[in-house]
Amino acid sequence: MGSPHWKRLCLLLLAGLTSSLLLYSHYRATVEAPTSQRIIASLLQPGPLVPAPSGTPQGASSRRWALGGSSESGNSLQPSAELEEPEPSRKQPSPCLHSVTARAKADPKFREIFRFNTPVLMWDQHFTLETWNRLKTRHVPYGWQGLSLAVVGSTLQLLNASANRHLFDRAAFSGGCVRCAVVGNGGILNGSRQGKAIDSHHLVFRLNGAVIKGFEEDVGTKVSFYGFTVNTMKNSLISYEEYGFTQIPQGKDLRYIFIPSDVRDYLMLKSAIQGSPVPEGSDKGDDPQKYFGLEASAEKFKLLHPDFLQYLTARFLRSELLNTQYSSLYMPSTGALMLLTALHTCDQVSAYGFITANYEQFSDHYYEVEKKPLVFYANHDMLLEAALWRSLHRAGIITLYQR
């Protein structure tokens, strides 16, 4: 006689258990969502990453995020020979008939190497969960392995101006071909008298220890872009101070190109845009304004895309060093990255102060009083770069200054 009541009780218990399981699943999918999804979602919301207490300096809230590990942590990943296809970038159309693009496509070798739709720069809209999951598996500078999601995301969030999407605005040039000069610091420029020729270009790229004062006749004075990693910039300020390099170039129309080779590049870039001291890491407390000036805003900064660095290394400068014990250290030189950046953005490119076949005749740098031989470090392959410049020059894709 008690059997129907017992069955109803069992059914009620079963229904309650089912409801509990459904509620718990919903809780797991929302409240306990994967950490990366929750952080990215918060970063993509307008407003500050974490509300700072009243009186807290701008950017100080980033101290609340612990780094996800050193950029040297984890297994070192070499750039893959098979480039993962990034989302194609939308290039500004060029009216130039004899451009780098046209010449490269006409060359049987280089038309198979160049991919002009590879994004050169990274900005806020690139920061998605899909991009994070893809790039976190690749070692810097080709990805974000070992970097803090919060640091990378909060930095990219600040690159939200239209100027962050293109190296330069073609509308600023009245038709024709945009001509660019990339000035390395090689000793070949000492006594070259190439200053006027360099300054005659629409845009001029310089990098690292770009000493100008006293060498104007050889290297010119115009600076449109200054390219660097935080490491090479700081090392240059120390190593070449005796030659007069005590300040990186500054100017109203000058733009800075960050090469993201370490977490310190993301931290310095974020602090530079916010106008606040670096909050953590090896540059903690450093004031970016002493490098970039008091009025540096997001529009002044460009950040090379890790996919672009991967593409350049895999297709143009895939060194045998990647097969040695130095594989985790290797990346193309700053000069190489600036020259290849110009080749993917400008119409016509001239290279000055780069390594040539007769490099032994010249000092390492043009500003050295006594001749010093070129030093070959394990993290670069200068001879491979020299062969690439000669090959591009022969193909008419660049004009390489030689003497």
Per-residue pLDDT of the chain (403 residues; tens, 9 = 90+): 445 555 555 555 555 555 544 444 444 444 334 545 544 544 544 333 322 222 322 232 222 222 223 333 333 334 444 434 455 555 566 778 889 999 999 999 999 999 999 999 999 998 999 999 999 999 999 999 999 999 999 999 999 999 999 999 988 887 789 999 999 999 999 999 999 999 999 999 999 999 999 999 999 999 999 999 999 999 999 999 999 999 999 999 999 999 999 999 999 999 999 999 999 999 999 999 999 998 788 999 999 999 999 999 999 999 888 888 878 889 999 999 999 999 999 999 999 999 999 999 999 999 998 999 988 877 899 999 999 999 999 999 999 999 9
Angle at alpha carbon of residue 380, lines to 74 and 122, rounded to 5°: 65
| Through-space distance between the first and last CA atoms of the chain, rounded to whole angstroms | 109
This prediction has a pTM of: 0.80
Q: What are phi and psi of 54, to 5 degrees?
A: -55, 130
State the pLDDT at residue 14. 54
State the pLDDT at residue 13. 56
* Structural domains in the chain plus CATH codes: 100-400 (3.90.1480.20)
Q: Which of 372, 59, 391, 341 is nearest to 224 (CA)?
A: 341
The whole-angstrom separation of Cα 231 and Cα 246 is 15
Q: Are 308 and 357 in contact (CB under 8 A)?
A: no
Give me the long-range contacts of 363-366 (CB less than 8 A, separation at least 24). Answer: 363/187, 363/190, 364/186, 364/187, 365/185, 365/186, 365/187, 365/209, 365/240, 365/243, 366/185, 366/186, 366/187, 366/188, 366/189, 366/190, 366/192, 366/211, 366/215, 366/218, 366/219
**235 C-beta neighbours (distance < 10 Å), count:** 14
The whole-angstrom separation of Cα 139 and Cα 145 is 5
What is the strand order of the sheet 399-400 is part of? 301-303, 255-258, 225-228, 203-207, 179-183, 348-352, 399-400
State the pLDDT at residue 3. 53
